[in-house]
Structure 1
Amino acid sequence: MEIVMNRNLIFAENQYLETNRLTLRPITLKDANDMYEYGSDEETVTYVFPIHQSIKDTKESIANYFIAAPLGKYGIELKATGKLIGTIDLRVENQHNIAEIGYALNKDFWGVGYVPEAATELLRLGFEELQLMRIFAMHDIDNPQSGRVMEKIGMKIEGKVPNARMWKGKVVTDIMRGITLEEWQQLHN
């Protein structure tokens, strides 16, 4: 008999996660100013989401994406200041026992390891608590910095998808990276 796991309950019990420097927590409308700061910056959002033209765009994004279905979606908050500097999410495909990880980070905080730190905690949640067998991510071939984050957390290149999608009027080639439960266990034992 197969054991059915309630992953929504596990996410609900793990809405707040901590790392050395970060708190991963639910996004609220109180985060609108911090999110607008980077959501309105073209360099920050080039590969992630359409630029926010106004604070109203940011509030709508928060309401429609983060509040409407909050489980598995986290704000990345600096413990030292309480500032929201980005978001990270783990989108589980229950039927296949896998998940996709995605993230966005204010460019003012690039290059100091915040996303790998947050992503490592989500991998731990995914493999230890949610008992997933594989976690993957994709990045635009023109965004190697995102690929570097994936590499730092142990993800290997699994494939290249030419003409994967249209994004902001451009044909995109995606690089898919992933890590299996066994690979993660080898890195953390």
Structure 2
Amino acid sequence: MELKLETDRLQLAPYEMSYAKQVAELAGEWEVAATTFVPHPYTIKDAEEWIGLHKEWLDRGTAYPLAMICKETKQLIGTMTLRVNQKHQKGELAYWVGKPYWGKGYASEAAIRVVRYGFEELNLERIWAGAMTENSASSKVMQKAGLSYEGTLKKDMLHWGEFKDIDVYGMVREDFVLLQNNIE
């Protein structure tokens, strides 16, 4: 599958196995795992196994895990994934960004592009995402991508032995169309 999306600063494309070392380094940082559901520690073997699953997911259309590559430096920055539930025509955004790239707007830029892809190319009816309530940076990414706060799931996920509240954000197709019409 030839899937390449672009933004001003990023190229979003399926992973290559050659990224495994960079994935392990970036996703393996404690601070990344502390605010996401990326396992910790995260080894090169873990990254290789994860990347090894991508082709099947892409071929089946059940997930679109895309490497976020900086156009200028050609460096891996993080991941922006759209997991698709085909039966219900909805997608879930899931992502992480390596700590050296935090606070630079890369996740928001990638999320905006992947949301557009989900509605325009995959014809989804709904796109949603969740983040630990304490991860305000992730909530800001969702808001910048046009998703609206829908509620908090109390003690929804067990993370490192503690139940975490999850803030849920979402957008439906008609809101996406309205947003696009207002931008143009």
TM-score (norm 2): 0.89
CA contact (8 A) 2:37 2:159 kept: no
Aligned length in residues: 176
| Alignment partner of 1:102 is 2:94 | yes
- Structure 2 CA distance for aligned equivalents of residues 53 and 115 of structure 1: 21
Structure 2: tracts of 5 or more residues without a match: none
Q: CA deviation at 1:187?
A: 1.7
Q: CA deviation at 1:55?
A: 2.3
Greater than 6 Å deviation, 4+ residue runs: none
Give the aligned partner of residue 45 of structure 1. Answer: 33
Give the aligned partner of residue 178 of structure 1. Answer: 170
Give the stretch that moved more between structures: 20-29 or 68-77.
Answer: 68-77
CA contact (8 A) 1:52 1:58 kept: no
Deviations 1:163-184 (Å, cap 9, x if unpaired)? 2121221101111100111211
Give the aligned partner of residue 27 of structure 1. Answer: 15
Give the stretch that moved more between structures: 51-60 or 30-39.
Answer: 51-60
Give the aligned partner of residue 163 of structure 1. Answer: 155
TM-score (norm 1): 0.87
- Structure 2 CA distance for aligned equivalents of residues 97 and 69 of structure 1: 16
- Structure 2 CA distance for aligned equivalents of residues 53 and 89 of structure 1: 18
The amino acid across from 2:159 in the alignment is: W
- What is the aligned counterpart of 1:130 among 122, 128, 139? 122
| Alignment partner of 1:117 is 2:109 | yes
Percent same amino acid among aligned pairs? 34
CA contact (8 A) 1:16 1:25 kept: yes
Give the aligned partner of residue 66 of structure 2. Answer: 74
Secondary structure in 1 aligned to 2:50?
A: helix
| Alignment partner of 1:60 is 2:49 | yes
- What is the aligned counterpart of 2:5 among 6, 12, 17? 17
Structure 1: tracts of 5 or more residues without a match: 1-11
